[in-house]
Structure 1
Amino acid sequence: MQILIFSLVVILLVGYIFYKLNQFYSKKTITFGTLFIIEIIWLGIYISNNNEVGINKAFKAKYKKEFGYKIDKLSSNIINKGKNLSLNEYFYRFIYIVKKDNKEFVCEANDIFVQVIQDEYVFKDIKEKCREK
């Protein structure tokens, strides 16, 4: 019900904005402006998703190199530790599923310090805690 009301309010708001813009601009100008705004939003979403994919790929490669096992599924979150870090330093929490000796394990690596240098991710030591799935 709340989603329906919210959607209705958004549709009414967009309609009102187009009505007001139609008084000052031509339909062609409004169409191009709308398409431009949609492309900007799409580009922002794409860049945001691409950044998360990059850190996940880098962690999988580092894990395979360090431990010799392939990660099947991976989830990552940025942790705010309240420390004053520079703009290219983060703490991450990784949760992943890995197969070791024909058994599946759910592993967790907390407080992994990551430095971002241009498009490369540098990880500190990976300390994991695993349990059998």
Structure 2
Amino acid sequence: MASGRAITGKAVSINNHRPQRPVTRRDFEIAVICALPLEANAVEAVFDHYWDDDGPPYDKARGDPNTYSTGTVRRHNVILAYMPGMRKANAAALAANIWPSFPNIKLAVIVSVCGCIPLTPDGDEIVLGDVIISDKVVQYDLARQMPE
């Protein structure tokens, strides 16, 4: 069995050596954002370790109302950001506050349940656990209702 795998020409270790606890919130570079508890529970299940279990939680920027968990996924220090609910206003508020609290985030991933796409373009069924990566965003709620 190989000790690594090739990703874009680089060998990546797949061992589970946990990195050291970050000194400050500036040491986090990956954020995972979830709107629903169901989504956050799925992300929490893949955390290898919770930094919140090893000491006091990291502070936040003044006025940041967001709730965060911190931990590791493989060798990466990750924050999990919990949105207070669905909708654009909640997403915008979270985005506006996450950057001052965690200023070195380089990758933010939104994890969500997909409730509207039953089949792939090829006709294959989409099932629980499938990963869907979009190359487009459609703002479905920007419309005008006409009287007729």
TM-score computed with the length of structure 2 as normaliser = 0.21
**Greater percentage in strand:** 1
Larger Rg: 1
**Greater percentage in helix:** 1
Q: Work out which structure has the larger RCO, using CA pairs closer than 8 Å and 6 or more positions apart in sequence.
A: 2
TM-score computed with the length of structure 1 as normaliser = 0.22
